Amino acid sequence: MVDPDLVHQDFQRRLRPILPQGMGLSVDVYSPDVFELVKQLRERGLRPGYLEVFKATTTVLTTVRQALPDMSLAYHGEGLWITQPDVQASPFFQQDVGEMVTQLNSIQSLWLNHECAMKQMAGYSFGTYVPPLYTPLSAEVVAGNITTIQQAIDRQGRRADGTSPLFLLELPPLTYFAAGTILIPHFFRLVTALVPCGLVLDIGHLWTVYRYTAACRQMPLEQFVKKFLDEFPLERVVEIHVAGLACHESSDGAQRTAGLPEWIDAHAAPIPPILFAMLEQVLAHPDLVSLRAVALEVDTKPIEMIVEEYAEAVRCFSPVVQQAMTRGMATEQSMDQPRHSLSTLELVRQSDRQQLRDEYARYAQIISGQVPMTGPEWQDVAEDQTGLTAYRTSYLPYEILHWGGDLTEMFPQTCRILAVRGVILTEFVAFWFRAPRPLTESYDFFLLKIERFVEFVAEFAPDAQVCAEQEGEILRQGYEQANEVVGPVMEMERAR
């Protein structure tokens, strides 16, 4: 039996070496060019308290570390699908965790931040984050997976002073829907009672929780935020993110509920003022006692807009961020907890694990439109299907056909042949979700798209297969080279 008090003490011990960082930026080293960004910020007299960098190649991250020796760096991980009951059985799990620890070490990271979300489940792959099933069993599985990863960090990522980077779990965005049987704050409470992780509260993601759950029809935003914060384990929030919101390219923007726009997480878009009002509300909450940092998430955003938004955010929020960070420090100083070893969670029973795996298989099939909604976790979504319908019929096809690499630009010659043969590209979406598929490598949506498209062509227009393979090979080589330098990777977007 895990004692939540001991777990919390362990969290506080792990938190203590993380010094307050103040306001910073969460960036992707490729887009925009991180060195150009830092240069332009400095020209305006701005020095971010820290940079949180998204996963890249280890070579590139090492270059960033060396080029910015005085900058505190933190790490935004990707590809460890901690929501999944079978992730540890994946042939790539050990390798992915090993790479992640190497990267944490290479930048001397303050922490490992990872979304509580996935892009792969039960053999189905997606390009952007899908939220977990919000159920008690799912929370238990997340906690178990975090424990395993934190143990690996403790073993391989321990610093000279005996401390090691802390796992931070981020509240994920909703893209039009959420499935589950418990409230989202309750889910995070269950996780934090079991494992000494910290949390990242993303204000834009919180807005999407309001927008795409029943809450927006039941209460005003301010009341929702208050209720959410009272229920959420706010005492575990170490970092806050603020990023842009916008209507998606695939949406006509006409869909409004309770007078609210159909915004989703969009890091390239401007940060709407409403998020700063929410930030103010969060920073003022007395339970926010572990805060170390606040970042604007600015990957894929034009540098000029980043500089303007960051300057304004620092001007408005720096003093109140400082106040919030000091709130917890006084109580922490007086505590000198004994060291507890990370409890190994009792294994989730095999039958429960299998049940959750089946639920995730059904999840993937429901949101890709292969099977109708069944099961208690889909009850709320079934009552108002507008969101899921938009996801299934517009957002998801766009993701497979255009996002992270537009097929007609990636495979121009092959697409011309397909058009002549009468093969419609939208058939590729059905092909993609036709059946679960064993993993053949660590998650990379761009590489996966190439692999699946070549398979699609082989089946639907066999005489174009050679052409598709050739175009695919050129893409792979260009991608590999571009990943090794700071700056834009082809025309690809990288979303979190």
288 or 468: whose CB is closer to Fe ion? 288
- How far apart (Å, rounded) are the C-alpha atoms in residues 169 and 251? 29
DSSP H or E stretch at residue 124: strand 124-130
- How far apart (Å, rounded) are the C-alpha atoms in residues 265 and 237? 20
Residue 203 beta carbon to Fe ion: minimum distance, rounded to whole angstroms: 9
77 or 387: whose CB is closer to Fe ion? 77
Q: How many CB atoms lie within 10 A of CB 238?
A: 26
- How far apart (Å, rounded) are the C-alpha atoms in residues 480 and 464? 24
Residue 352 beta carbon to Fe ion: minimum distance, rounded to whole angstroms: 30
Cα distances from 29 to residues 38, 165, 299, 430, in angstroms, run 11, 21, 8, 34
Q: Contacts with Fe ion in 227-286 (CB under 5 A)?
A: 241
Of the listed pieces 123-131, 195-203, 339-347, 412-420, which binds Fe ion according to CB under 5 A?
195-203
Q: Is 55 in the site for Fe ion (CB under 5 A)?
A: no
Please spell the DSSP secondary structure of 334-372, one letter per residue.
H--PPP-PPPPPPPPPHHHHHHHHHHHHHHHHHHTTSS-
Residue 54 beta carbon to Fe ion: minimum distance, rounded to whole angstroms: 10
Site track 291-310 with Fe ion (rule: CB under 5 A), x = hit? ------x-------------
202 or 359: whose CB is closer to Fe ion? 202
- How far apart (Å, rounded) are the C-alpha atoms in residues 184 and 339? 31
Widest CA span in the chain: 74
Of the listed pieces 42-50, 155-163, 290-298, 431-439, which binds Fe ion according to CB under 5 A?
290-298
240 or 468: whose CB is closer to Fe ion? 240
10 or 52: whose CB is closer to Fe ion? 52
Q: Contacts with Fe ion in 59-78 (CB under 5 A)?
A: none
Residue 317 beta carbon to Fe ion: minimum distance, rounded to whole angstroms: 17
Q: 3-state class of 491 per DSSP? A: coil
Residue 204 beta carbon to Fe ion: minimum distance, rounded to whole angstroms: 7
Residue 202 beta carbon to Fe ion: minimum distance, rounded to whole angstroms: 4
* DSSP β-ladder status, 22-27 and 263-265: unpaired
What amino acid occupies position 211?
A: R
User: Tokens 């993110």 map to which residue?
Assistant: 241
241 or 292: whose CB is closer to Fe ion? 241
Candidates 10, 28, 78, 202: give the one binding Fe ion (CB under 5 A). 202
Q: Given the rule CB under 5 A, which residues bind Fe ion?
A: 202, 241, 297
